[in-house]
Amino acid sequence: MAHDPHHNPGDPPTLHDVDTVSSVVTVYAVVLALAVVNILLTFAALGPMALPVQLGIGAVQACLVAWYWMHMRRGDTAVTLSAFTTLFFMFIFFVLVLADVLTRWRAAI
Amino acid sequence: MSASTHGHGTVLKHHFDNLEQQHSAERLGMWFFLVTEVLFFTGMFVAYTVYRNWYPGEFAFASSHLLWWVAAINTGLLITSSLTMTLAIRSAQLGDKAGLIRRLLLTFALGAGFMGFKAFEYATDYHEKFVPGEMFRTEYARPLAELTADDAKRKFEGRPALTRTEVESYQFKGEYEHWSQDLAKRNYGREPATEGTVSPERVQLFLCFYYIMTGIHGVHIIVGLGCILWLVFEAYRGAIPREAYSKVEVISLYWHLVDMIWLFLMPLLYLIRSGGGQ
């Protein structure tokens, strides 16, 4: 992680480490707007596309929250690795289970 | 060292070289915990995925009878609480004690509002007997019994049996819950597991997922509220100087994760109705 040469690691947070109110509120507005869109799309009869669209909106919201509010943009390598490791384990979890379930011969369930 | 002295000697623990290293370690510790929390919920989401894939009609039916407007309000409350929590970190970093306490209390109020609406929702569902088990089965049987009796009366009077159209537009004389009326209309006169029917057992399966997933999420909200109250107490007694802002940050990381989980939980449980379940 890059260090500001003028900033002693032992000093309290300088103003460039502090989120601005405008950035926090902007993310809030976008996340809330996406939630409203998600709810309104429920009544749009998207058919089979409804689920991917809803999950896509959720993923965008999660990325915004993680990147800005959870400060992943600070670039702590270990934190970034932890987050992506989580996604990787989720991927394995879903793939292994669904590979079983979706390839079963189902007579009549 | 006393808690009232808040120079680097109190905030900086002896096994860290500097505050930045300590804060990084604190954040990483919380992130590791969040990883386990995500995997905990992933198990439930995977199970949900399997059963939604197997029983899309039943899941869509059950979802359409939940109180989606309560979930919408709760979504707004939780997202706003994440906003106030992030602003609380800013207050802590700037040494604004009053602002920190104010924003933490606002976050707590919004989270408590979420739980209040959740309690109202659960109470309504329970009152409507939309709960898996004997109550559900008993309530479902009531409109079916009326339809059966009406059909029997028609037969006795020499009239034809109820047609599908008549069943779908049937006006019940008794007072039954909205979901049991819909379920009875869907299934009456049809063989079980044929096209157009909705299995009441699988509807109850959805309800199991609904109560367990939202219930466990609710428990996480309550734990988060407790942590926020602890932060308020710490801030009030002056134990969160600028150097110790990371106390607020690690709790906020947990709170944001609980918010993110809800952002996926809400559409999966409440918003299936747009045809994605059929």
CB contact at 8 A, B80 and B243: no
Residue B8 lies in a domain: no
Residue B182, CB-side half-sphere exposure with 13 Å CA sphere:
14
Taking all residues of chain B, what is their mean pLDDT, rounded to a whole number?
93
Q: Predicted confidence band at A16 (pLDDT cuts at 50, 70, 90)?
A: low
Residue B112 shares a structural domain with residue B54: yes
What is d(CA A63, CA A43) in angstroms, rounded to the nearest whole number? Answer: 25
In this structure, are B177 and B162 located in the same domain? yes
Give the residue ranges of DSSP H helices in chain A: 21-41, 50-64, 77-101
Residue B93: CB atoms within 10 A of its CB come to 22
pLDDT at A3: 54
B111 in any annotated domain: yes
Nearest C-alpha of chain B: how many angstroms from A93?
A: 8
Question: What is the mean pLDDT of the segment spanning B229-233?
Answer: 98
Structure tokens of A76? 């702590």
Minimal Cα–Cα distance from A47 to chain B, Å? 4
A49 has pLDDT over 90 = no
Residue-by-residue DSSP string for B196-255:
T---HHHHHHHHHHHHHHHHHHHHHHHHHHHHHHHHHHHHHTT---GGGTHHHHHHHHHH
- Is there a domain that residue B174 lies in? yes
> Both B123 and B232 in a single domain?
yes
**Total-model pTM:** 0.91
User: In 3D, which of B170, B243, B198 has the Cα closest to residue B23?
Assistant: B243
Domain hosting B152: range is 134-187
CB atoms < 10 A from the CB of B58, how many? Answer: 23
- Lookup: tokens for A64: 């915004």
How sure is the predictor about A5, in pLDDT bands with cuts at 50, 70 and 90?
low
Minimum distance, in Å, between the CA of residue A31 and any CA atom of chain B:
8
- On the question of pLDDT at B273 being above 90, the answer is no
- The minimal CB distance from A42 to the residues B76, B252, B273 is found for B273
Integer CA distances (angstroms), A26 to A30, A68, A101, A107, B260, in order: 6, 10, 42, 52, 17
Residue among B31, B54, B74 with most chain A CBs within 10 A, to mutate: B31
How far apart CA B225 and CA B251 sit, in angstroms, is: 10
First CA to last CA distance, chain B = 65
| Same domain membership, residue B76 and residue B141 | no
Same domain, B110 and B138: no
Are B78 and B128 contained in the same domain? yes
Question: Do B216 and B142 fall into the same domain?
Answer: no
Please check whether residue B3 lies inside any domain of the structure.
no
Q: Do A10 and B12 touch (CB under 8 A)?
A: yes
Cα of first residue to Cα of last residue in chain A, in angstroms, is 53
> What is the per-residue pLDDT across B96-154, written as a single tens digit (0 to 9) for each?
999 999 999 999 999 999 999 999 999 999 999 999 999 999 999 999 999 999 999 99
Average pLDDT value over all residues in chain A? 86
Burial status of residue A1 (CB atoms within 10 A of its CB: 0-12, 13-18, 19 or more): exposed
Could you tell me which residue, A106 or B150, shows the higher pLDDT?
B150
Domain assignment of residue B47, yes or no: yes
User: What would the two tokens of residue A104 be?
Assistant: 């079963």
Write out the two tokens for B62: 């059950």
In chain B, how many domains are there? 2
> Model confidence over B167-178: pLDDT tens digits?
999 999 999 999
Q: Are residues B124 and B217 in the same domain?
A: yes
Residue A55: the pLDDT is 94
Tell whether B121 and B143 lie within a shared domain. no
* pLDDT for A105: 80
Whether B269 contacts B95, CB under 8 Å: no
How far apart (Å, rounded) are the C-alpha atoms in residues B25 and A26?
29
| CATH code at position B104 | 1.20.120.80
**Whole-angstrom Cα distance, residue B42 to residue B216?**
13
User: B177-222, pLDDT tens digit by residue?
Assistant: 999 999 999 999 999 989 889 999 999 999 999 999 999 999 999 9
Instruction: Let me know if B92 is exposed, middle or buried by CB neighbors in 10 A (0-12, 13-18, 19+).
Output: buried
B144 residue type, one letter: L
- Chain B, nearest residue to A108 by Cα: B193
- Pair B27, A80: CB distance under 8 Å: no
Reported as a pLDDT band with limits 50, 70 and 90, residue A11 is low
- Kindly state whether residues B61 and B71 are assigned to the same domain: yes
In angstroms, the CA B245 to CA B249 distance is 7
pLDDT for A13 beyond 80: no
- Within-domain flag for B112: yes
Query: Is there a single domain that holds both residue B39 and residue B78?
Result: yes
Interface test with A, best of B83, B252, B258, B273 (most A CBs within 10 A): B83
> What residues of chain A lie within 8 A of the CB of B24, using their CB?
76, 78
Overall average pLDDT of the B253-277 stretch:
87
Phi and psi, residue B18, nearest 5°: -155, 170
pLDDT the model gives residue B276: 41
Is B7 part of a structural domain of the chain?
no
| Both tokens assigned to B33 | 């915990």
pLDDT of A21-35, one tens digit each?
999 999 999 999 999
pLDDT, position B5: 41
Q: How many CB contacts within 8 angstroms connect chain A with chain B?
A: 164
In one-letter notation, the amino acid at residue B112 is A
Does the residue B2 lie in any domain? no
Q: Which of A54, A83, A51 is nearest to B263 (CA)?
A: A54
Q: Which two tokens stand for residue B173?
A: 């004389």
Partner residue opposite B35 with nearest CB, options A11, A65, A82:
A82
- B62 shares a domain with B103: yes
